[in-house]
Amino acid sequence: MFCWYTDHRGKFYFKNLKMTLNKLNKYSFKSENIVVDYFELKFDLLSRDTKQQIVEFFFKLGFNSFDVDKKYREPQSTAIQTNFKNQYQIQFVANVNNYWNGVCVVFPSKSAAFLYQLLKQKKIDWNLFPAAKINRLDLNYLRPIHNSQERLVVDFFKQSEETIRAKGINARINSTKSELSLKIASKRSNRSAKIYDVGRQGKFLKFEMEIRRTLIADYKPDFLNNNFERIEDSLTREFLNYFWKLLPLENKYVDWLLEKVRPIANNARSSVISNIYTDYMIYQKPSVSALTIKHFIMFLKFIAFTKKLDYQIREFDSIDYRVIIFRVKDFSDQCDSLFKSSDNSYKVKQVKHFLRQLPIGYKWETKKENERVFYTLLTIVESTT
């Protein structure tokens, strides 16, 4: 356990820093050439009337509708309402598994991309499905290849499979006449991925990530409030971090990932540090310039993390301080995306190392609170609990 004595000062300067980072690091699907490739809503109960309303609403927007029954080995598809002019489709999928009797409403492939554009344009009435959960959203990125490079692609898949398995994560190559792919992680987890030669035509490698269940369900309020800037920034980071942590970065087919992630690190090093005005950063300036971007981001996460915690006001040497106590594991969880390893003990050890590098005391400059000035002292105390 660590104890941080702070006055919660630095709000003004941290806010400016956060704004600077947002401008430098803001991601969007368009800027990163990432496409929504699948969208799924989950209904525990879907009435016949509600289903018909959904069918008619989307038919007017150019969607043909189909019932899909997964009870059989080969799913059975039956048309509900179609028009040859419609380019998109919506599927009502039943009998998904033996343990759930609900219905999934699915928008596959280009239909998902079009649906997402309609959502951004505020053309979708969420009142049609208030009880639905967002159950799955797929993102993909296409990396061009040459049709003479299949041997190199196979080598990339083998290298990736070995690298991923060494990290304790499932990975499996699938090679058939119609598909050459690498599947990553389990369908039972909240995220998984697949990399494949589209149609085995030697034109593109598709890097696809499935975001499922609670990991995507938590974004429903953002969809309802049209907060697509946050959705795209967060999900793009999720997408890039996932592949960054897993793939062999020295391989030529990961060049697109390096191009997208490295400029952010360089911008943060060159443009952000000079805009930080806390006593801590002045105190640490010689070492901050040498810190990896991981530790710098961890420091920002540390500030954001502690500011959300409960505190008590105590007096030390006639000066008021805020006392915040937290478990290292709680902060380690906040830094999960920064670590390639899934070993919790390793992550906690790295976080402890980072925390011990923080100075014994420093000040944040900001306003008074209720006419009381809270000075800052950072003291880290480790215990066995």
Which tens digit of pLDDT belongs to each residue from 257-290?
988 775 444 444 333 333 333 333 433 444 443 3
What confidence category does residue 338 fall into, taking pLDDT thresholds of 50, 70 and 90? confident
Q: What is the pLDDT of residue 320?
A: 58
Q: Pick the more confident residue, 19 or 176.
A: 176
Is residue 223 pLDDT above 80, yes or no? yes
Phi-psi label, residue 133: left if phi above 0, alpha if psi -120 to 50, beta otherwise: beta
Segment among 134-148, 209-223, 241-255, 293-307 with least mean pLDDT: 293-307
Stated pTM of the model: 0.64
Two tokens, residue 69: 């029954």
Percent of the chain with pLDDT over 70: 74
Provide the pLDDT for residue 314: 66
Tokens of 39: 């969208």
Strand pairing class (63-69; 171-175): unpaired
Mean pLDDT of 331-353: 80
pLDDT on residue 371 = 43
Query: How far apart are the C-alpha atoms of 4 and 378, rounded to whole Å?
Result: 6
**Residue with more model confidence, 218 or 15:** 218
**Is-contact 192 183, C-beta < 8 A?**
yes
Give the helix ranges, DSSP H, for the chain.
11-25, 48-59, 109-120, 150-166, 214-217, 220-224, 228-246, 255-267, 279-288, 293-307, 328-334, 344-356
Neighbours of 196 (CB within 10 A): 20
Q: In percent, how much of the chain has pLDDT > 90?
A: 44
Using only C-alpha atoms, the chain has a radius of gyration, in whole angstroms, of 25
What pLDDT score was predicted for residue 312? 67
- Rounded Cα distance between 299 and 273, Å, is 12
Which of these ranges, 122-136, 194-208, 241-255, 326-340, has the smallest mean pLDDT?
A: 326-340
Q: Is 151 exposed, middle or buried (0-12, 13-18, 19+ CB in 10 A)?
A: exposed
- At 384, the pLDDT band (50, 70, 90 cuts) reads very low
What pLDDT is stored for residue 151 in this prediction?
A: 86
Is the pLDDT at 16 greater than 50, yes or no? no
pLDDT band for position 361 (50/70/90)? very low
**pLDDT tens digits, 28-69:** 999 999 999 999 999 999 999 999 999 999 999 999 999 999
**pLDDT tier, 340 (very low <50, low <70, confident <90, very high otherwise):** confident
Whether the Cβ atoms of residue 46 and residue 139 lie closer than 8 Å to each other? no
pLDDT band at 184 (very low <50, low <70, confident <90, very high): very high
The answer to whether residues 22 and 275 touch, using CB atoms and an 8 Å cutoff, is: no
User: What pLDDT score was predicted for residue 308?
Assistant: 76
The residue among 203, 206, 202 whose CA lies nearest residue 194 is 206
Whole-number Å distance between alpha carbons of 267 and 25:
8
Per-residue pLDDT reduced to its tens digit, 287-321 = 443 346 777 788 888 878 877 777 666 665 555 56
For residue 227, report the phi and psi dihedrals to the nearest 5 degrees: -90, 65
- Record the tokens describing residue 357, joined without a space: 């590098």
Give me the mean pLDDT over the 86-108 stretch. Answer: 94
